A and B are shown apart, each in its own frame.
Chain A
């Protein structure tokens, strides 16, 4: 059971005086895990540490029980699509994947079969014979994804995999991630496209300035932030009455009326107590048509946890 986890124990990495990541402790179960954070947050450093491209200054990493230094064992299980947008010179898409697979020790026929298969999977069959150097950004992204997927790994580590993909391919790719996750594999994704992360993640790791600022299931992360005001959208027939009753309580901090008068967006510091208040109001004659958490997603958590730090630093 323990070998199903990706574990990082007090991992730090410094580039001389510069902090890469600091005291990161994580234990990631199978499923889709998103690493979210602004540039320089340490996402890529953490992924490079997990795959042995970098060595931790301190701490211990295990991927399904294997140390990243044991590359000969690790990369049978792990596929990593990096963010480095460079390829071995002079190779076509097919040759790139084929040559990469040859290094795994597969036979010539097996390499051809796997390469064809994965190239089709990422929708590059028509361009397989063309040189990678002539590919568009999206195509290069897809061939990198193909390289990570080619040997059917149990752990997929993908640095900004959705960058540059058109909506159709993006949807296909997300579907692929979901399929991998349902098969009990790890899919570790870093992204700036927060609403996509929100949609696909089983768990999230929020990073800022080299630190993990929150981690866990998206709801769990949300509940970690008790003090953070929450926005709740209420569709009702009497928004002004609801707002005035809500403002009688100190935990309601803001109310914005929807332009068409169909509801109100309430900001509260205590979601639980506000939900109880709504029940009370509904029982006492206010016609509430619907209640939607307006910011219960990674984006809002991210804005709150990281955006505020950025604003402060500005």
Chain B
């Protein structure tokens, strides 16, 4: 019996895979999945140009490291120029405080690797910004933020909507679902076959995207920097991101397979799930744990930056300890099984009534 079920699942997967990968209806899933690869690619091109620009700038106007070390807060613009020479770029901004207009002046210098921006207010140096386009720390943080706030919450989420909802709903619309139901196959087996087909397709699409994003992120850096990073902690981070992507497909896939079976119009339930997942940072700790994104974020290797959130929104975030990897994985798998069992009950009662679909 198990052998028969396995054979039937494999046959369903074969039939579904072609449709899932090459369906015109699902082209936007590829756009959604691979958009961040393009963005990281552009970022890498920009980073490379930036490094070349800084090197050229430093060659034209060499400044010793000792001179940079000599710059301290409180110096006037003239004193800085005296030590470092004329900045390669100078600009100013205005702002109002206490009914008074203030002017901030920025001087930019480089030693060929780091871009220094000196910030003056009331003719005094108040802050030094250092930007190192060759440093991976900042890029890793950008990757983590993009991964958790765009890729997981939007790309994988909506990608799973597009793939899994269509497994049943799409065939209802195409009026071809009945062919499956005219075979001596248990509805649960059909459901499993369709789920695995969707899972295989989404895992291939989205883990490929994660891998390409990773490659696009690193591509701009010098070989030595990349080798050092991969040695520790690069490869383990890479594996973690791939695993999180696959787990997101496992979890969201089951939810949207059930949505496709249960609802004629998946928009409203999808919006509800999206709202719940998006509201997760603001929910009380107990409710936070009834979501997919909480567990997925818990096992992300780098904590995403929330520095750029508006202060009021930041206040609303309820701090919660992330779940351990074991807890997160177990709960995602349990939730998936629960949803799939529920979906199999719906599948058993599934009727073919194309005229009303």
Contact = CB atoms under 8 A, between A and B. Distances in A.
Interface of A: 15, 48, 51-55, 69, 71-76, 79-80, 82, 84-90, 99-100, 102-105, 147
A99 B15 contact: yes
Contact of B351 (A54, A79, A85, A105): A54
Contacts, number: 82
Given A54-B352, A88-B176, A147-B179, A72 B185 contact: yes
A13 to B, nearest CB: 10
A279 to B, nearest CB: 54
Interface string B328-357: 000000000000000000001101111010
A89 B19 contact: yes
B11 A72 contact: no
A11 B182 CA distance: 21
B351 A86 contact: no
Among B7, B15, B182, B352, find the residue whose CB has the most chain A CB atoms closer than 10 A: B182
B182 A55 contact: no
Given A53-B351, A75-B184, A104-B184, A88 B19 contact: yes
> Interface on chain B toward A: helix, strand, loop, or mixed SS?
helix
Contacts of A69: 348
B183 A52 contact: no
Nearest to A82: B178
Contact of A52 (B11, B18, B181): B181
Contact residue range for chain B? 20 to 34
Nearest to B175: A86
Contacts of A105: 4, 7-8, 184
Contacts of B7: 102, 105
B19 A84 contact: no
Interface in B223-264: none
Contacts of A53: 178, 181-182, 351-352
A90 B18 contact: yes
Given A86-B174, A90-B19, A105-B8, A80 B352 contact: no
7 contacts: A53-B182, A55-B351, A84-B176, A90-B22, A100-B182, A102-B11, A103-B184
Nearest to A16: B356
A226 B149 CA distance: 78
B352 A75 contact: no
Contacts of B354: 84
Interface of B: 4, 7-8, 11-12, 14-15, 18-19, 22-23, 174-176, 178-187, 348-349, 351-354, 356
A100 B179 contact: yes
A86 B179 CA distance: 10
Among A73, A74, A104, find the residue whose CB has the most chain B CB atoms closer than 10 A: A104
A86 B178 CA distance: 10
Closest 5 CB pairs of A and B: A86-B175, A103-B183, A102-B11, A53-B352, A75-B184
Contact of B182 (A15, A80, A90): A80
Contacts of A72: 184-186
Among B178, B179, B180, B181, find the residue whose CB has the most chain A CB atoms closer than 10 A: B179
Contacts of A86: 174-176
Contacts of A76: 184
A103 B176 contact: no
B40 to A, nearest CB: 34
A76 B185 CA distance: 9
A48 B182 CA distance: 10
Contacts of B14: 99, 102
B351 A84 contact: no
